Amino acid sequence: MEEQKNEELEKKQNEVKKTKRKLQLNKKIILYFVIFLVVLYLVYTIYLLVKQPTDIFTLEEGALYSEETNVGYIIRDEVVIQGENYKNGMEKIKAEGEKVAVNEAVFRYYTKNEDTLKERIAELDTKIQEAMANEKDLYTADMKSLETQIDQKLIELSSITDTTTLEEYKKEINEMITKKANIAGELSPQGSYLKQLIEERKNYETELNSGAEYINSSKSGVVSYKVDGLEDVLKPTEECFSTLSKEYLENLDLNTGKIIPTSDESGKIIDNTYCYIATISNTEEAKNAEVGDDIRVRLPSGSEVSAEITYILQEENDGRVLILRIKKGVEELISYRKISFDLIWWSETGLKVPNQAIVRENDLAYVVRNRAGYLNKILVKVKREGENYSIVEAYDTEELKELGFSNEEIISYKKISLYDEVILNPDLSEVEE
């Protein structure tokens, strides 16, 4: 009896073990299945993430352009001005970049012994002021008015930072001091100490002014003291343009972006209304360019200005020398003779779409738009086609009429718009009209 009980107990234990093993096996199967589903879901999700950007493209505003970076040689209408006493050194009357009229004084050359003469005049001015202070009877209404003006100028002088304005104020003050001294000299008795000082000062001033050589502008324009000796070589003339070549320009041996040094012997007057840039290009755009074409250039500062091709010379190696005329940014280039700049042949802005999304049918361009899974074939006008992208827009009513569309077709015409999704490499046969 006891043995029978043991056998039954052992049998039950074995059944329990079998049940547990089955449960563990089932759990493992379920776990593996869940893991498989998770992995499958992750793979599918990754597939969608990778597939979505390559199959669907969202339209946004963009730009296309064709440009090249070149070196350019600056050609200006400029006249060098120089006097006989250029070895004496010069004093600038007009600052760099300042505008002048015809016959206006630009600078002057120092006279011989100028520093000594100025020192003697300054010493005499001090003595004259001291002598005048002791001559109270000489003070007239005119002299008091001049003193008030001098005091006012001195007060204003303390707040001026512009060097040109500063020099003008100093000149005005000196002129008023001289005028005041002259009045005192006329009123003082002949042979007096003050009279002698004033006469002595006049003699020194006459000597100083008689030896000065003032250089006036020969034309109106902008003053520059950056003289490089190429002013008469690179001139905006037919004779100059016709002789330009890649070899000629490179033989000038100029450094790109180098600032022209400032001369202490001469200056020049520049016509700041326009200048030219000579450049060499062998691109397809350059080969197809014509005189009169409007393009754009990006200057070293980053500013973009319009330009016109005014002259073209053919090089032996299929390259071309292009002469570009610009009317803005001229003063920015005064300090340079050779620059690096961007030549922008064309640019277009609008809805930017990959060329893969555009299909051609009967000489018309289409894209396939995806809206919530519904696909529509949309007629678009390609404004500009680049290597990988194009700029497109919808046709207007008049353009559709010119293409031969009926009124019903025009009314039902679907337009492409910002943020539309288009399909890449679409099959038009599978798309609704």
Rounded to the nearest integer, the mean pLDDT of the chain is 83
Q: Chain centroid to CA 67: how far?
A: 15
The most confident of 9-23, 40-54, 149-163, by mean pLDDT: 149-163
Asked if the structure places residue 27 within a domain, the reply is yes
Higher pLDDT, 151 or 245: 245
- Identify the weakest region by mean pLDDT among 64-68, 169-173, 385-389: 169-173
Residue that is last in its domain, among 305, 328, 348: 348
Same domain, 251 and 287: yes
How far apart, in whole angstroms, are the C-alpha atoms of residue 336 and residue 330?
11
Same domain, 204 and 246: no
285 and 368 part of one domain: no
SS3 2: helix
Enclosing domain of residue 390: 358-430
Give the orientation angle of helix 163-187 with respect to helix 114-133, to 10 degrees: 50
Looking at the fold, whether 239 and 313 belong to one and the same domain comes out as: yes
Q: For residue 343, is it within any domain?
A: yes
> Given this model, what pLDDT does residue 51 score?
47
> Is 73 found in the same domain as 155?
no
Position 53 scores a pLDDT of 44
**Which sign does the torsion angle of CA 88, 91, 96, 101 carry?**
negative
pLDDT, tens digit, for every residue of 387-415?
899 999 999 999 989 888 888 888 889 88
pLDDT band of residue 325 (cuts 50, 70, 90) is very high
Residues 300 and 318 in one domain: yes
Q: Is residue 85 part of a domain?
A: no
In a domain, 31, yes or no: yes
For the chain, the domain total comes to 4
- Nearest in space to 423 (alpha carbons), one of 383, 378, 364, 384: 378
Comparing 303 with 183, which gets the higher pLDDT?
A: 303
The reply to whether 328 falls in a domain is yes
Among residues 320, 348, 376, the one where a domain terminates is 348
Same domain, 231 and 344: yes
132 and 201, same domain (yes or no)? yes
Residue 138 confidence (pLDDT) = 58
- Is 400 within the bounds of a domain? yes
Q: Is 153 contained in some domain?
A: yes
Token pair, residue 207, equals 């000597």
C-alpha to C-alpha distances, 362 to 161, 356, 365, 380, 428, nearest whole angstrom: 71, 18, 8, 13, 13
106 lies in some domain: no
Q: Is residue 5 scored above 70 in pLDDT?
A: no
φ and ψ of 398, to 5 deg: -65, -40
The pTM of this model reads 0.65
Triad 183, 187, 190: Cα angle to 5°: 120
Secondary structure (3-state) at 146: helix
